[in-house]
Structure 1
Amino acid sequence: MKSKYVILASALLISAATFAQKNEIKAAEKALKKGESKEAATILQSAESLISAASDAEKAQFFFVKGNVYLDLADKNIEADKNLSLAAAAYLDLIAAEKASGKSKYSSEAATSVTKIKYKLINSAISDSKADKHATSADKLYEAYMLDTKDTLNLYYAASTYVNANQYDKAMSMYNELKRLNYSGKATNYLAVNKLTLEEDLFNTVAERDRMVKMGTHEQPKNEVIPSKRGEIFKNMALILVESGKTEEAKKAVAEARQANPEDTSLILTEANLYLETKDFETYKKLVGEVLAKNPNDADLVFNLGVLSANAKKTAEAEKYYARAIEINPKYLNAYINMAALKLESENAIIEKMNKLGTSDKEMKQYDVLKAERKAIFKSVIPYLVKALEVDPKNEDVSKTLLGVYSALEMTAEKKALESKMN
């Protein structure tokens, strides 16, 4: 008989707890409707300890109200970051509870709020990243991804941002997830200029874009191809592994990626860069040859080979690739800029030599020779800087560099003409 009383007492306790919990959820809902979000949050906090014993349906209701309360607090700019994260976590708990129960009472209603939180998190992450708060930014991007796992772009950005935050374990975990999903990020943007705002609008489909152009609201339609991000993903994975002393694992990871995506030339560049990092120049050259054989007229690929060569201090090779990129695309701005920068780098060594010379006749002759070499370098970069300004007339960095070159060569007329264009 005694055991029956114990069972009965337990049942009464559970019933009372459930009743109290329901009352608190209702009280929190009423407080929220009155705009008293802080009070609603306090009420929910007192019910939190009881939620583990609740049914999936009751859990879903609790998490739905909790998400609404913390989102309202975030909207009112009350500890916005903290409450936005709490709202996001609550909605994820809601989705999990309804998935477990097999019923979807609140998920569809919460969808609008979930989308709102997602974009708030993304915008906040962008602000944090600009302020060099990379770890916080990455956390928010990952939260945004968890709210909408179909939007894998946020997982990609979260991983990249964790790299910037030097949190390599988290970055690696997300890169592995992107690898599992076979994420490439390759896409096409359908753009057209809005006649009212004079800004480019992005459309979901080419048909939608073309319809708006036909209606006359937009003009200048164009397609913008977003290249595959696999190369960068595996490059970062490889660099993290190399940093951890796992060079062979890095090589294996990139080789596997190439095997799974044989047409993705960005992965060949990644592998080439990896062998360049480990000073295996023969394999590097072999891989570079593969890239060029696949697509010799791809200006971006040729330019990237120039960057790899420049990083390896192979100046002549880098110049060759930059020149080829310009030949393929005469408006390739970065090729002109990098070519000029590459040539100007050699000036430092000349200045260093000049500074070490004394005032003897022999040394003064050497000084004159070096001075002539320096002058020749400045003259050699002028055509590239001028071309860069033709492509991008408002590029301040290029203008300032060209002004410096004109000053060094005492080209007063050219300097004044450029200054008048800048003002």
Structure 2
Amino acid sequence: MKSKYVILASALLISVATFAQKDQIKSAEKALKGGDAQGAITILKDAENMVVNAKDVEQAQYYFVQGNAYLDLANKKVEESKNLSAAAQSYNKLIEVEKASGKQKYSTQAAASITQIKGLLINSAIADTQANKHADGAKKLYDAYLLDRKDTINLYYAASTAVNAQDYDTALPMYEELKKLNYSGKGTSYTAINKASGNEDGFNTASERDLAIKLGTHEKPKTEAIPSKRGEIYKNLALILVQKGRVEDAKKAIADARKANPDDSSLILSEANLYLETKDFETYKKLVGEALQKDPNNADLVFNLGVISANAKNNADAEKYYLKSIEIDPNYTNAYLNLAALKLEAEKPIIDEMNKLGTSAKDMKRYDVLKTERENVFKGVIPYLKKAHELDPKNDDVSKTLLGVYKALEMTAEAKALKATMN
């Protein structure tokens, strides 16, 4: 008899708890309708421990009301990021419950809310990055990815934004996940100008874009190839691993990526960059040579060969590579700057010798020869400095160097004109 009473008492307790939970959900709904979202969340918190024992329909209702309450707070800008994430978690639990039960009452509405949350997170992340709050933006983009793992571009942007925040501990697992997914991001973009706003709108397909053109809402259609992002992904992954002292892991990551994607030339550059970072210049040059065979008109590669040659005091090769990079890209500012710097190195030994000379007739004669040589050095760098200044007029270092050269050559008019443009 005693055991029967125990069973009866236990059943009674469960029954009372269920009734109490139903009342709490209704009370939370009432509070939410009355505009008290925080009050609704507090009421639901009291029932949190009991919801696991509730019927599927009540669990779904619980998470639905909870999600709506968090979303309401986020829409009111109350801890927006935190509450958007909490709302998404509630809706996802709701969808899981209804999927398991086979009865879908709230899932459609929840899915629509998740789409809304995803858009809000992305827009908020964009605002964060524009305000240089990159860490906040990265978190929101990652939360957007968690809401829809098929939309992997949000994971890519989350990782890139974390790098901009110099939060490498956060970026590393994101890049590792992109590696696991073998994410490329390669594709085609379809855009057109919105006649009403003047903005460039993107479309999922060419047919969607062409329909907008036909309807007259858009004009100036444009189709562009989106290059693979693998090179950038593996470059950043490798640099983070190197920073953490995991050089062999970095080498293996890129080597594996190249095996899996033999036609992706951007990965050669990433591997070359890794060896440049670890100061293995011979391997770097070998890889750059391989990359140049595939992409002979890559000005960055040729320029970097110039930098390595200059570091190795091989000025003849350095000059050759800098000139080649300018031949490929006439607006390559850094090539002009490095050429000027390379040429100006010839001034130091001339100055050193001039300073050692005395006042004898022989020394004075030698002084005049050296002075002419120095002037010729300055004259030789003017074209490069002028072009660099033309391409980057706000670069104070270029302006000051060019001004110094003008003064040394007593080019008063040129110096005065240049000084007038400087801050």
Q: Is the pair's TM-score, using the shorter chain for normalization, greater than 0.5?
A: yes
The 1:356–1:406 alpha-carbon spacing in structure 2 relative to 1, beyond 3 Å, is: closer
| CA positional deviation for 1:212 | 3.1
| CA positional deviation for 1:197 | 3.3
C-alpha distance after superposition, 1:150-186 (max 9, x if no partner): 1111111222333344544442322222122121011
Partner of 1:265: 265
- Conservation of the 8 A alpha-carbon contact between 1:125 and 1:136: yes
| CA positional deviation for 1:262 | 0.5
**TM-score under structure 1 length normalisation:** 0.81
What is the identity, as a one-letter code, of the residue corresponding to 2:279?
Answer: K
- Conservation of the 8 A alpha-carbon contact between 2:60 and 2:94: yes
C-alpha distance after superposition, 1:26-47 (max 9, x if no partner): 2222222222222222222222
1:303 has 2:300 as partner: yes
Mapped partners of 2:282, 2:402: distance in 1: 41
Partner of 1:383: 387
Unpaired runs of at least 5, structure 1: 389-394
Q: How does 1:353-392 map to 2 (within 5 A)?
A: 365=367, 370=374, 373-383=377-387, 385-386=389-390, 388=391
Instruction: Name the SS of the counterpart of 1:150 in structure 2.
Output: coil
The 1:41–1:327 alpha-carbon spacing in structure 2 relative to 1, beyond 3 Å, is: same
Partner of 1:12: 12
Partner of 1:244: 244
**Matched residue pairs, number?**
408
Percent of matched pairs sharing the same residue: 55
Mapped partners of 1:213, 1:380: distance in 2: 47
Partner of 2:339: 343
C-alpha distance after superposition, 1:203-225 (max 9, x if no partner): 22122223333444433322222
Mapped partners of 2:262, 2:387: distance in 1: 39
- Conservation of the 8 A alpha-carbon contact between 2:18 and 2:54: yes
Mapped partners of 1:52, 1:367: distance in 2: 90
Partner of 1:63: 63
Mapped partners of 1:322, 1:302: distance in 2: 9
| CA positional deviation for 1:138 | 2.1
Instruction: Name the SS of the counterpart of 1:71 in structure 2.
Output: helix
- Conservation of the 8 A alpha-carbon contact between 1:74 and 1:83: yes
Larger Rg: 2
Mapped partners of 1:64, 1:368: distance in 2: 84
Mapped partners of 2:71, 2:235: distance in 1: 38
What is the identity, as a one-letter code, of the residue corresponding to 2:284?
Answer: Y
Instruction: Name the SS of the counterpart of 2:21 in structure 1.
Output: helix
Mapped partners of 2:275, 2:15: distance in 1: 67
- Conservation of the 8 A alpha-carbon contact between 2:209 and 2:221: yes
Q: How does 1:23-422 map to 2 (within 5 A)?
A: 23-297=23-297, 301-307=298-304, 310=307, 313=311, 323-324=323-324, 326-328=326-328, 333=331, 335=332, 337-346=333-342, 365=367, 370=374, 373-383=377-387, 385-386=389-390, 388=391, 397=394, 407-408=403-404, 409=406
Instruction: Name the SS of the counterpart of 1:193 in structure 2.
Output: strand
Identify the range of structure 1 (370-379 vs 273-282) with the bigger mean alpha-carbon deviation: 370-379
- Conservation of the 8 A alpha-carbon contact between 2:213 and 2:219: yes
Partner of 1:391: none
- Conservation of the 8 A alpha-carbon contact between 2:29 and 2:40: yes
Unpaired runs of at least 5, structure 2: none
| CA positional deviation for 1:412 | 7.4
What is the identity, as a one-letter code, of the residue corresponding to 1:377?
Answer: V
- Conservation of the 8 A alpha-carbon contact between 1:188 and 1:223: yes
The 1:376–1:396 alpha-carbon spacing in structure 2 relative to 1, beyond 3 Å, is: closer
The 1:305–1:272 alpha-carbon spacing in structure 2 relative to 1, beyond 3 Å, is: farther
Mapped partners of 2:207, 2:414: distance in 1: 50
C-alpha distance after superposition, 1:90-114 (max 9, x if no partner): 2233333334434443222122221
What is the identity, as a one-letter code, of the residue corresponding to 1:262?
Answer: P
